[in-house]
Structure formats: C-alpha cells, structure tokens
Structure 1
Amino acid sequence: MGTSQSSGFLGGSLAFAETVLESFDKIDISKRRYVGAILLPSFVFFLLTAAVAVVAESLPTFVRLPIPMLGLLLLSAAVFYPKVYVSGRRTAIERQIHLAMTHMTVLSTTNIDRMEVFRELAGVEEYGVLAEEIGHVVHLVDTWNQSLDDACRRRAKEVPSDVLSDFFDRLGYTLGAGQELSDFLLSEQGVVIQRYQTIYEGALGNLEVMKDLYMSMILSMTFALVFATVLPILTGTDPTTTVSAVITMFGFVQVGFYLVIRTMAPYDPVWYHPEEGEEESAHTETKLTLVVVASVALVFVLLAITAGGIFGVTPVGLPDLLFFLDEVPLPLYIAVPVTPLVVPGIVFRAEEGMISERDEEFPNFIRALGATESAKQATTGSVLESLRKKDFGALTPDIERLYRRLGMRIEAGRSWELFAIDTRSYLIQKFSEMYVVGRAMGGDPKQLGELISQNMNTVNQLREQRRQAAVTLIGLLYGITAASAFAFFIGLQVVAILAELSSELTVDQFDFGNLIYAGVYDIPTIEYLLLLIILFNAVLSSLMIRTIDGGNKFNAYIHFVGLTWLGCLTAIATKELVTAILMI
C-alpha cells in the first residue's frame, strides 16, 4: 500500500515537472534567453541570500531565516512563472472560445472568403489571447504561404489550450479533405458549446469545494480568535498582541480565498459597458450616477458626524441621530455610517434583474426576427413593424426604440449598437453584433437567428446554475458572519465581566488577582479590533458574492451593508445576552 502511494506521488511529481519544462517552450521569449536573463540571476540571488544567512551569525534566528526564504521565493517565482503564464493564456482562451466559435460560424455562413473569416476574428481585440492565436494562423498563411489546413494543424501543436488545439487539429484535417468551412463549423457548434458547458460547470463545481474549505478555515480561525481573547486571562500574556496576530491571520486567509475564488469563477459578464465616448442611454445612466454620488456623499456626511461627535469637533454626534436610544452601542458607530450604500446596491440589483429578463427574451426575439426576415424576404425595419406588437417582456421597449431608429433611416449598425447600449446586456451586444454583421455579409437570417438563439439559451441555462451557486454562497457567508460575531463577543464579554468582578471582589481575604490576570486587558481596544474584523469580513464576503454571481460591482454594496449590520447586531445581542445570563 505504501509502495503504491509513493509511486503514485512520484509519478504525479514527474508529470508536473514535465509540464513545467514544456511551459518554457510556450512563453514569448526563447528558453535560452529566459534561463540566462531570469532563471540564472534568480538562482544566484538565492545563493547570496543563503550565504548572508550563514555569515550573519550574530543576528537572531527569526531575522536570519526570512533572508534565504526571500531568495527561495524569487527563485520559485522564476521557475514556475512559465507554467502560470501558460495556464493564464489557456484560461483566457477557454473563457472566450464559445463566443468566438459562434462568431466564426456566423461569418462562415456568409459570402466572404474563409481566410477573411479568420482575419475578421483576429482583429477582434475583445477575444484577447484567442484572437492572437487565430492571428498566428493568419500569419502562417499570409507570410509563409502555407495552406489554411496546414497552418491550423501546425498551430494546434503550439496553443496552450487543449480545447483550441483539438479544434484546430480537426479543422485542419477537415479542410484538407475538402469540406466547406461553414459545414464543419455548423456541425461543430454542439461540440464547442458542450465543452464550454463542461468547463463552466466544472468551475462551479470547484467553487462548491472551495466554499466547504472556506467554511472550515474561517471556523478554525474563529475558534483561534476566541482562544486568543480568553486565554490571556489565565496566562497573563498581552491579549491585544495575540488578538492582533490572529486577526492578521484571519485577514490573510480571507484575502487568499477571495483571490482563489476570483481566479476560479467562470468569466461571464452580465453588463455591457460601452467604450468611452459612446452615447449611452441618458436617463438610465444619469439615474445610476446620481444614486451612487448621493449615497457616497451621505456616507461621508455620516462619517463626519460620527467622528466629529466622538472627538467633540461638532455639536452633533451619532447619539443625536439615534435619539431614541438611551445609549448608542459601539458597533452602531460602524454600521450606521455605511448604511446609505445599500441604496445604489438596490438600484443596480433592480437594473441587473431587468438585464437578466432581457437576456431571457432575446433568444425568442432573434429567432423570430430571423425566421420572419427569411420568410418575407424583407428588411429588418419592415419585420420589426409587426414584431414590436408582440410581448417580449422587458425587451419590448428596446425593440420599439430599435424600430423607431431604423424608421428614421439611422444606419443599421448604429441602430443595433444603440439597441445593445439600451439593454446594457453583454450577451445581447455580442450576439446582436454577430447578427448584423452576418446579415450585412449575405448570411441567411433564419439560420443566423436559430444559431444565436441556441447558443444564448445555453449560456442562460448556465447562468441559472451560477445564480443558484451564488444563493448558496450568500447563505453560507451570512451564517458564518453571524456565528463568528457571536463567538467573538461571547469571549470578549465573558472576559469583561470577569475583569469587572475581579476588581470588585479583590479583598485581603480573597485576592482574585492570584487566579486571573484581568489587568492585562484593554477591553475597548479589543472590541475595536473585533469590530474591525467584522467590517473586513463584510468587505471580502461581499466581493466574493459579487465575483461568483458575475454581476455589477455595485451589487456588492447590498451585501456589504447587510453583513456589516448582521455582524454588529449579533455583537450587540451577544453582549446583552451574556451580561443577562452571567449577572443573574
């Protein structure tokens, strides 16, 4: 059993080392230049740091030890950078491949040459690394006079993504056998979408694992923080130092998990953000901007009132605003000032709900538009005259505006561009652009409509799974926040009560100071630190939720305010509960 485990570990290590070595061949500079300019100097720097640690014997160990660790960190970064670089390019390709393949299929069904299809896609900057790889194929054909099938097969050996490599390889052999590009891509649509669906669902599955691991780690850190708060009353160590150290670890754990979740989350933006200078939907944009500006300004006003009241700068403080309370608990000094941020969060959430409804209706609209255009052999404007009377839900007002713009003889491409800006949907912008380009180049509208509708329906289904994963995460984070705040302030309030009792009951006959070390505690400072970690937890947790649901960054404000209030109210309730129980 032990032999099989060791052989399995050795085999896995060798396989990983092989992939690291292969990645050196796929970076932008030659292997020899990378080794000479980066890897070798990093190794020399590591040897120097090790020598410094050995020579500087007079320095304490805790000072000497980090020196070679810094060199080792730099050397490790140099060794594994090509692997990270290649993995990043693979991820970037697989994020965009479903849109790019749909775009390629749409272009292939038009009357343009197949090389123009590749040139068109290579010029789309939004496809990023994928556009670069397609550009390499174009370069091989245009500069080195290779055939398209040879160029695809050759590039298939170089691309970092197995999905794209397999696609190029099969495309090269198919074109070499004489099949039309459009026939191959139409038959390939199901395969590409299925692979994208597998990657997307795999990412969601990995996030589920990360959520379980995150819960375990945060609960462990919570227990550690409770022990750091309570144990010094028995040992006499400085509790402020121990609590600060555990809070720092707590923060690093949360930041680490946030970065991992951000890396693993599927790339699927909801909002369409036009380029700077583009005309946007004035009424919606103005409303959203005003809400954000007013809310942020109100936050600063409340912060000024709160801080001014605490330091006696202004005659009005938080107790004056919360006049109905006899005494303002300390946690409310954090919760109240951030409350106005919930307003832009609600407004953006409502707008995002409308975008999701438009995304749900767009496949039906584009399919009906394509089928009607093909049947009537009419222009888009003529077809919209009848389609605009049908109910397409949240998309209906945008269709009406599109019809009016086309009726005013605004250029078709510009009218559709403004249609996408009105909807504010990333998917609608991409797919409507494909439809317009396909129609302008002579594509069959019915075929285009069905192709786009099918692909967008698949993405909508995946988004529904993503929304369910986000709901699960929201419940988990709110539960962890309440449990952590409860545990933090149970420990703090128990210590505070014991400290108060020890000061009251210290007499000549019975000195509590010989049993507990209440004098080492600075209760207000520790309470400030615990409230700080509640605030920090609210920030990171809200960012995690926003990362998984893929929505607008302002959506995080709702959960930031909600988590802050939950933590603060739990802290207040816990202090009151513990006091009521222990002081009976």
Structure 2
Amino acid sequence: MKYKDALSTMDMAPKKFMLILFFTVIAFGIALPMVLWLYLSPLLQVGTMAVALALPMFLVLVVFIWPLLMASQRRIKTDRQLPAFVTELAALSTSDMSFDKIFYILSQKSEYGPLSGDAKKIYRLIKHYNVSAAEACRFVSAKTPSKMAKDFYSRLAHSIEVGEPLDRFMRNEHDIMMDEFMLKCETALKDVDFMKEIFTGIITSLIFVCVFVAITPILGSTAVEVMIYGVIIAFLFMEGLFVYLIISKMPKDDIWYSILLKIKNRKIGDKDRILIVSIFVAIFGMVALTSLLLPLHLPWMLLVSSVCLPSLIPGILIFREEKGIEKRDAVFGALIRSLGRSASVSGQTMADSVKKIAIHKFGPLTKPVRNLSRRLAMYIDPRESWAHFAAETGSNSIRRFSNIYMECILAGSKPDETSLFISNNIFKILAIRKKRITLSGNFLGMLYGVAVALAVTLWVTVAITEYMADVIANINLSHTGSFDIGFISSIFNANFNSDLLTIMVVSVVVIHSFFSALMIPLIKGGHIASAAVHFVVLVWIGAFCDFIVGIVMKGVLS
C-alpha cells in the first residue's frame, strides 16, 4: 500500500500526523542523538555508543511506518470479518428496513471491528449529513485499506445508483464474496504448505550448525559457550518466525467460544469449570513433580519430559471437547436451514418454530435445541435464550451465526432466505476447515519426523563428543612437544564441555517441541491449549531418543 493511501485510512488527520512526525524527527532524530554524542561518546565504547544512537532513530522509524502498520492491521481484520458482515447484511436486506437503518444495526456490532466503523460512517453520512447512499459507500470505499471491502463498497454504490433492489444485489454479492473468500483461504493454505519445505530445510541446516559447534574444540576454538548460546537463540528466532508467519498467513477461524467471553456474559457451564480446574491441577502437578524429581538428579531430558506430563490433563480434555464442537458445527448448517424453512412455511413465531423442529433429532445438537425450545416457551428473552444455546455448544461459529439469525429475524428479515445465507456460509467455512485439518495432519507428520531426526542427531553428537573427550583425557604422551604444532596440538588440547552441550541439546529439543506444538492448532484453528498434547509427545520423543542413543552408542563405542 502506498504511504499516501495509508495516511488517508488513519483516524487521525494527515496534517496532524505529519506534524507529529516532524517534531519526532527534530527531537529524536536530530536533537537527542546530538546530545548523546556530545556527553556520552567520551564515556562509552564504540559499539555501546552505536546502540545508544540507534534507539532514538528506531523510534523515528516506528513513527514513520506507523500508518503502514495500522493500515495493514486494519486490512487483515477487515478481510477476516467481511464474510460474516456480508452474510448479515444480505439477511437484513430481505427485511423492509431502510438502507440507513440496516447499517445502523451493523454499526452496533463491535465484533466486526473496522467494518462496524465503516457501517457507522455510512449511517451518519446518510442520516446526519444528507449524503446519498451511493456517495456514502464511495466515501468509505476510498478510506478502507482492504481491497475486498473496497470492491464491495464500490459495487454496492453502483447498484444503488442504477436502482437495483438491495436484496437482489446482496443475494448475488453474497455468493461472489464467499467464492472470493474461499479462493483467498485456499491460496493461504497453499502458501503455508509450501512453508513446510522451507521449515524442514532450515531446521536441517541448524542441526548441522549444532554438530559443527560440538566439534569446534578440536579446531582450537575457545568461544564454544558463545556459539552454543547463539545456536539456542537461532532456534528460538527461526521457529518463532515460522509461527508468526503461520499466524499472519492462516485465515482466522476460531472453533471455540472464548472462555473470556463466556465469563463476561456469565455463560460458564460445567464443562468450562472442569477445564479451568484441570488447568490448575496441571500447574500444581508440574510444580509438585519439579520439587520431587529435582533432588533425584535425573538426566535433564528425562526431568523436563516428566515435569511436563500433567499438562496432558487439560490438553486431552480440550482435544476431546474440540472433536465434539466440530461435530456440532457440522450439524448446525442443516439445523438453521430447517428452522428457517419451518418458520417461513408455517408463519409461526420463533418459539413455535424451534418447538416444531425440537421434536426431531439433530445428533450432538439435539439436547441444546430442546433446551432452547424450553427457554423460548417460558418467554425468556430470545437473545438470552440463543446466547445460552451457543454457550452450551461451545462453538464460536454457532455463537456468531445463531446471533445473526436471531437478530435478523427480530429485525423483520425473511426466515428462509436468512437461513439460506447463513447455511451456505457455514458449509463453505466447513469446507475450508476440512482442508485445514488435512494440512495440519501433513504438518504433524513432518514435525514429528523432524523432531526424531533432530533428537537422534544431537544426542549422537553429544555421545561422540563425550567419547572423544574421554579418549583425549586418557592419552598419556611422554613427548608432548612433538605434537605441539598446528592442528594436532588443538586436537590433544581440546576441551569438550559435555554438560554445556547437553544443556544445548535439551534447550533445542524443548524449543523445537514448543513451537512445533503451537503450529498444529494454529493451522487447524483449534484451541491453543491443545498444543500441550503434542508438546508432551515431542518432548518425550527427545527423551526416548536420548535413552536409545545412549544404549546404542555405548555398544558401538565400547
């Protein structure tokens, strides 16, 4: 995006931002570096002085690129929320409400992020400034950093000008938007799949670096400690970078109804309480195991893997519940379509329509639907009834789309068309989700294979260096002066620190296990805590490889 376009998308006036940038350059780009140079240069070394001068310049750079960062963040949020926004707009367009009233309702939905702000601008321009709907849409189109949203508002403005009914336009636009969303998601999945090969290559390269660091004492190097810390930092940086790339590339699809949102809405259920208790039990178990196992002086890899075992408790519970949520999501599309058709054909109220379909079975949604029917029959507020229904399912998709259905029906939208928009959206999201699950399965096999190769190679390296250290220490030469030359001298004077190498291997295995475990739920879209299961398995792979390699190398090198 061009810098000028990024400035136009900011909430702040461009002139005001340029004024702030000007004073930042004067204060932190010129004045402060001069003061630091005059007063600190005689006291500090060249490297330290360079860092001191770089810090204020970095602040100037951050302020300069701030519009680009904000525009990029807003674009990502807009693209992620646009399909649901268009779905609700399409459903509301089937009602008899005016154009500005529809956008007023959308402006109240804070979950749409920047799109709710765009809807508020359109409503205010029409209602308070007497701007035509087409011009209001064009104004917002010029301000948004998202190409998808820009094109959508432009097409909407054109359809209004030519007199096309909003419901007819949105009926076609919804399909176009979902197809574009599907194409974008599939492209992102292909990019992440390609990253898999890059990740394997980089980890393989870092493994060779670890092996080289282990044998550097033979080459006469005395800075082994610095190199070992450098290897650990390199693994931390590279794997963290890949996790960041996955987060930025993958389309956002939260499967779980957020526990924080449940607490805020006071919708905590028994399953949520069990999960919360299991987390505290896992933390207590890890602390207790640490205090019990430390005095036993176990090998570091076995100690770390044993301490991590209690985290399996919440991990397995979350993994099992996630499977149930996926099953409920798969049924919800058919449920909402049946509900819309029932309400449209019979002309009944929402409570009667839900009661009518509640006599049928909907698999894992049967009990929540019957509970919803009972609440509506007792004249409990529909919003509260549907909120409890969503909380029972634990699904974020059901929460969002059931809320869209309920709000649109209460606003006067047609039930059959509303349910059709929602179910089509859900089915396409589920299709993307299946592809994500397939990709996560491929990643899982690759990550486990890399973990085995990493652990075996590094533990073999440690065993060989320990053997070389013992051999060199037991050599007794009567005339050492004849070997005090060049490379031969460095071999006999090599000092292998096997304890430091072991710490390096344990750190690398734990870092790799942690970030590899995070990648699986990020790709799949599941709860981040389900990574605990993969983390424990990967760490135990490292411990098992340590045990097996120790036995094999003792037999080979004895």
* TM superposition score normalised by structure 2: 0.92
8 Å CA contact 1:280, 1:421 repeated in 2: yes
- Counterparts of residues 351-370 of structure 1 (less than 5 Å): 351-370=321-340
Per-residue CA deviations over 1:535-554 (Å, capped at 9, x if unaligned) read 12222222222222221121
Residue 298 (structure 1) aligns with:
285
Q: Over aligned residue pairs, what C-alpha RMSD do you find?
A: 2.5
Separation in 1 of the partners of 2:37 and 2:243? 34
In the TM superposition, what is the alpha-carbon distance from 1:251 to its structure 2 partner? Answer: 1.2
Aligned residue for 1:516, secondary structure, equals: helix
Distance 1:81 1:299 in 2: 42
Structure-to-structure mapping, 1:229-308, within 5 angstroms: 229-273=214-258, 274-280=261-267, 282-308=269-295
Checking the alignment, whether the CA contact within 8 Å between 2:207 and 2:458 is kept in structure 1 is yes
Cα distance, 1:157 vs structure 2: 1.6
Q: Per-residue deviation at 1:60? A: 5.1
The answer to whether 1:446 aligns with 2:416 is yes
Partner of 2:263, secondary structure, is coil
Q: 1:124 aligns with which of 96, 109, 130?
A: 109
Cα distance 1:194–1:403, how it changes in 2: closer, same or farther (>3 A)? same
Is residue 217–residue 494 contact of structure 2 (8 Å, CA) maintained in 1? no
Aligned to 2:448: 478
Q: Distance in 2 between matches of 1:261 and 1:356?
A: 22
Structure 1 residues 445 and 30: CA distance shift in structure 2, 3 A: closer
CA distance in structure 2 between the partners assigned to 1:440 and 1:41 by the alignment? 51
**AA matched with 1:297:** F
Q: Using a 3 Å threshold, how does the CA distance of structure 1 residues 548 and 53 change in structure 2: closer, same or farther? A: farther
Contact preservation (8 Å) 2:331, 2:365: yes
Supply the distance in 1 between the matched residues of 2:144 and 2:430 (Cα, whole angstroms): 29
Greater shift in the superposed pair: 505-514 or 74-83: 505-514
Shift of 1:119: 0.4
Question: By how many angstroms is 1:243 displaced?
Answer: 1.0
CA contact (8 A) 2:262 2:268 kept: no
For the residues of structure 1 that align with 2:60 and 2:431, how far apart are their CA atoms? 44
TM-score (norm 1): 0.88
Taking the aligned partners of 2:128 and 2:376, their CA distance within structure 1 comes to: 42
Identity of aligned residues (%): 24
Which deviates more from structure 2 when the two are superposed, residues 188-197 or residues 501-510?
Answer: 501-510
Q: Does the C-alpha gap of structure 1 residues 26 and 308 become closer, same or farther in structure 2, counting only changes over 3 Å?
A: same
Query: Does 2:555 correspond to 1:572?
Result: no
1:207 aligned onto 2:192: yes
Report if the CA contact (8 A) 1:39-1:75 is conserved.
no
Distance 1:354 1:197, change over 3 A: same
Deviation (angstroms), 1:57: 8.3
Shift of the alpha carbon at 1:25?
3.0
Q: Which amino acid aligns with 2:131?
A: Q
Structure 2 match to 1:195: 180
Distance in 1, matches of 2:22 and 2:464, equals: 55
Paired amino acid for 2:407: V
Q: Is the 8 A contact 2:220 2:490 kept in 1?
A: no
CA 1:42–1:561: 2 relative to 1, 3 Å: farther
The residue number in structure 2 matching 1:378 is 348
Over 3 Å counting, the alpha-carbon distance change for 1:164 and 1:491 in structure 2 is same
The answer on 1:396 being equivalent to 2:366 is yes
Change (3 A) 1:518 1:248: farther
Deviation at 1:191, TM superposition (A): 0.8
The CA deviation at 1:281 is 5.2
For residues 58-108 of structure 1, what are the alpha-carbon distances to aligned partners after superposition, in whole Å with 9 as ceiling and x for unaligned? 965544544454455334323322112111111110100000111111111
Q: Partner of 2:499 in structure 1?
A: 524
Offset from partner CA, 1:379-409 (integer Å, 9 cap, x none): 3444444533433221122122222223333
- Cα 1:138–1:377 change in 2 (3 A) is closer
Decide whether the 8 Å contact of 1:122 with 1:134 is kept in 2. Answer: yes
Q: Which amino acid aligns with 1:29?
A: M
1:122–1:424 Cα change, 3 Å: same
Could you tell me how far apart the structure 1 residues matched to 2:74 and 2:345 are?
43
Q: Distance in 1 between the 2:541 and 2:350 partners?
A: 52
How far off is 1:239 after superposition?
2.1
Question: For 1:438-517, what aligned pairs fall within 5 Å after superposition?
Answer: 438-508=408-478, 514=489, 516=491
Question: Which position in structure 2 is the counterpart of 1:31?
Answer: 14
Letter in 2 for 1:367: R
Assess, with a 3 A threshold, how the Cα gap between structure 1 residues 574 and 374 changes in structure 2: closer, same or farther: same
| Larger mean Cα displacement after TM superposition, 177-186 or 492-501 | 177-186
Which of the numbers 343, 365, 374 marks the counterpart of 2:313?
A: 343
CA distance in structure 1 between the aligned counterparts of 2:492 and 2:354, rounded to whole angstroms: 80
* 1:271 Cα deviation from its structure 2 partner: 0.9
- SS of 2:62 mapped into structure 1: helix
Partner in structure 2 of residue 84 of structure 1: 69
Distance 1:518 1:215 in 2: 36
User: 1:175: Cα distance to partner?
Assistant: 1.2
SS at match of 2:265: coil
Deviations 1:313-346 (A, max 9, x none): xxxxxxxxxxxxxxx5431111001111112111
Provide closer, same or farther for how the CA distance between residues 349 and 120 of structure 1 changes in structure 2, counting only shifts above 3 A: same
Query: How far off is 1:48 after superposition?
Result: 6.1
Match of 1:547 among 505, 515, 522: 522
Unaligned runs of 5+ in 2: none
